Each structure stands twice: as C-alpha cells, then as structure tokens.
A and B are shown apart, each in its own frame.
Chain A
Amino acid sequence: MAQAGSEHAADDVLRASFDVGYTYQRLVGPVIGEFLTGLRDGKMQGIKGSNGKVICPPTEYDPVTAEECSEFVALPSTGTVKTWNWVNQPRPNHLLKKPFAWALVQIDGADTSLLHMVDAGSEAAMKTGMKVKVRWAAERKGFITDIECFEPA
C-alpha cells in the first residue's frame, strides 16, 4: 500500500511524503499464543524448560536442549531490571511519549528476562536491580503492549 501527498519545494521539484506499508499478520503458535492470551487476561506466565528453569517470555523449545516446552508457570507481575538503556528523546513510533528506559526485566520466579519499557520518570530513578511492576494497558487485546510498560514497584 502506498499513500502520497504533494507539495511544492523551494527548488521547484515536487516532493511528497510516501509511506510504504506491509500489512503483515503473524500466527503466534501455541506457546506465544498462550502467553499473549494470558497478557490479555492480565496474567503473566512463563514456561518450564527441560532443566527446570522458567523461561519468560515463554519459548516453544528449550534454548539449550531444544526439547519442546509445554508446562506453563503462573508468574507475578513484578520483576527486577537486569539491564537498561535510557531513551531521552522518544522517536515518533515509541509508545511512551516521554523519556523512558528500554529494559530487560526478569519477572519474579523466572530465569530469563523480558524486553520492555520502564516508565521511571527520570534517568536518575533507573537502577540495575531495581524492582518494577507491570502497568497493564486499560484495553488489552492479546499483544505485548497489553503490558503498557513497567513502573518502579
């Protein structure tokens, strides 16, 4: 799909914004599907790996042994910031319209981390090891943005 609008430029060459879009849809499969269904219902879930470790977000296969995972584990909506990066000037496509952190959040009870945003207010409020909790989106549809972001717990 393409959309264009035209305007005059100082050098008399026509210019126009031109958006090229690909309307991809993705089948999520049984495991991510279950995870997203949980998010829609306000529940955090991980999955048990073959070594007993809990993987969150869940994967279909154990990252080490490649064995199929199937045992879901209910998790709380709290976690710990393992590492983070501060975004001073959000880009137009960023969902938070004010400075925020991208962070790897290890959900309590999980052994792996989830990439998401942390709305901490300021960079000074961010700390590796800080406790955070999920801020659920008001309207949820079964998507990763059902977690609006994390916020300091």
Chain B
Amino acid sequence: MSEQAKKVELIECPIVLNYNFSAGRAPTQFLRGMKQGKLIGQRSPLTGKVIAPPRGACPESGLPTTEEVPLPDTATVITFTIVHLPIPTSALEPPFIVANLVLDGSDQTFIHLVSGCANEDVKIGMRVKAKWKDQSEWDYSMDNIAYFEPTGEPPVDIEALKASRLEEAKRFLKAKAETK
C-alpha cells in the first residue's frame, strides 16, 4: 500500500516549553569557570563540604556558599546507567553510559557521560577524567566536557571515599575554628 493510501494511525503531538533560564549567581560563576576550562566548587560554611556544581547555598543548612574551591577534572563513578533509547536531540548512539560522578575534592555528585571504554568495563568506583572538547568550542556550559573517560587507576571503594570526605570536611572545620 502506498503511503497516501494508508490509514492514519499515529499523529505527532510534541509539546515544547520555551523557558528563559537564569543561572543565578553561583552557577554563573561555575559556568564562567567552565568557559575557561576550570571546575570551581563552593564550600559550605557550616559543614565544610564542597558543592560542585554549586547552587549558591549549602543543601543541608541553606547558608549561602561564597568560598570558591578550585577542583581537578578527575572524578569517581558513584553510580551509572546504560541508556538504550536514543535521545531525540542528541547525536549519541545508544547504548551509552550516563553516570553519577563526584569530582575529587567535592562532596556532591553530578550527572555526566562516561565513554572512552567498553560499556561493560564501567564499574562503580571507577576513576575517570574529563575529556574536554576542543577549546575553540568552549562555552558557558558543562558540555565543554564531552565525557569522562577512565584514567586506568585502580577503582575506589565508595564507602571509604565517603568516610575520607567526611574526615576532610571535619579537618576543614577544625582548622577554621582554630584560626578564629
């Protein structure tokens, strides 16, 4: 049967919501860093934890975060999923990996892609490093990092990582109290 003779069974009815998104002060600072290829977190004055990407307030206390903390572009895979469905606006070919990562020196996870290895080889605790796009393509965007790729270092125990981060936050608070 020709396309014209076929009975209509399906209609396209997309819904598009046009937002004007305002990043806010803290994410703006973060994105300005990204434009220069730098990752900059912020530290909570109450807990000593480092938040990256920062939202401008400590998620536990609500206190404003103002102290900036430069961070490396290496991270640990906290959890991940293998995406098998194509995303309409993305050129990515499924299956690909979306991971919850924590940057070294940060206490908050964020979502990014992990690639540069076989999907089966991605594991929780895997050490990864940002694969930056060419500098000419950098914008005020997390997409300046194309994906994170394995560093080849041995995997990290997540519970041990959590414990060491808590120790780090405590050390920071203690040092802060002593300088007062």
Q: Do A and B truly interact? A: yes
Q: Which residues of B contact A33 (CB under 8 A)?
A: 7-9
Task: Kindly state the separation between the CA atoms of A144 and B15 in the bound complex, as whole angstroms.
Answer: 16
Q: By the criterion CB–CB under 8 Å, are A13 and B11 in contact?
A: no
Selected contact of A15 from candidates B9, B20, B139, CB within 8 Å:
B20
Q: Quick check: B13 and A24 within 8 Å, CB to CB?
A: yes
Contact B28–A14 (Cβ < 8 Å) = yes
Kindly identify which residue among A6, A20, A34, A142 contacts B16, using a CB–CB cutoff of 8 Å. A20
Measured CB to CB, the closest approach of chain A to B13, in angstroms, equals 5
Known: A1-B87, A2-B89, A25-B13. Contact between A20 and B19, CB under 8 A?
yes
Are A21 and B28 within 8 A (Cβ)?
Answer: no
**Contact check: which of B8, B20, B31, B90 meets A18 at CB < 8 Å?**
B20
| Nearest chain A CB to B82 CB, angstrom units | 20
Which chain A residues border B90 with CB–CB below 8 Å? 1
Assess whether A3 is interfacial by the CB under 8 Å rule.
Answer: yes
- Chain B residues near A6 (CB-CB < 8 A): 31, 139-141
A13 CA to B22 CA in the complex, in Å? 7
Shortest Cβ distance from residue A133 to the other chain B in the assembled complex, whole angstroms: 23
| Nearest neighbor of A24 in chain B, beta-carbon distance | B13
Q: Which residue of A is nearest B87, CB measured? A: A1
**Chain B's nearest CB lies how many Å from the CB of A104?**
21
Q: For the complex formed, measure the closest distance between the CB of A19 and the CB atoms of chain B, giving whole angstroms.
A: 5
How many CB-defined contacts (below 8 Å) exist between A and B? Answer: 91
Residues of chain B contacted by A4 (CB below 8 angstroms): 21, 141
CB <8 Å contact, A19 and B19: yes
Task: Write out the residue numbers on chain B whose beta carbons fall within 8 Å of the beta carbon of A143.
Answer: 11
Q: How far is the CA of A6 from the CA of B30 in the complex (A)?
A: 14
Per-residue 0/1 for B1-36: is the Cβ within 8 Å of any A Cβ (1 yes, 0 no)?
000100111111111111111111101100110000
Asked if residues A15 and B23 are in contact (CB atoms below 8 Å), the reply is yes
Considering the chains assembled together, what is the distance between the CA atoms of A15 and B7 in angstroms?
45
Residues of A within 8 A of B16 (CB): 19-22
Q: From residue B42, how far is it (CB to closest CB) to chain A in Å?
A: 16
Chain B hits for A126, CB < 8 A: none
- In the complex, which residues of chain A have a beta carbon less than 8 angstroms from the beta carbon of B22? 9, 13-15
Which residues of B are in contact with A by a Cβ distance under 8 Å?
4, 7-25, 27-28, 31-32, 87-90, 139-141
Q: 25 pairs across A/B with beta carbons < 8 Å?
A: A1-B90, A2-B89, A4-B21, A6-B139, A9-B22, A13-B28, A14-B22, A14-B28, A15-B21, A16-B20, A16-B140, A20-B16, A20-B19, A21-B17, A22-B14, A24-B14, A25-B11, A27-B10, A33-B7, A33-B8, A36-B11, A37-B7, A40-B4, A142-B11, A143-B11
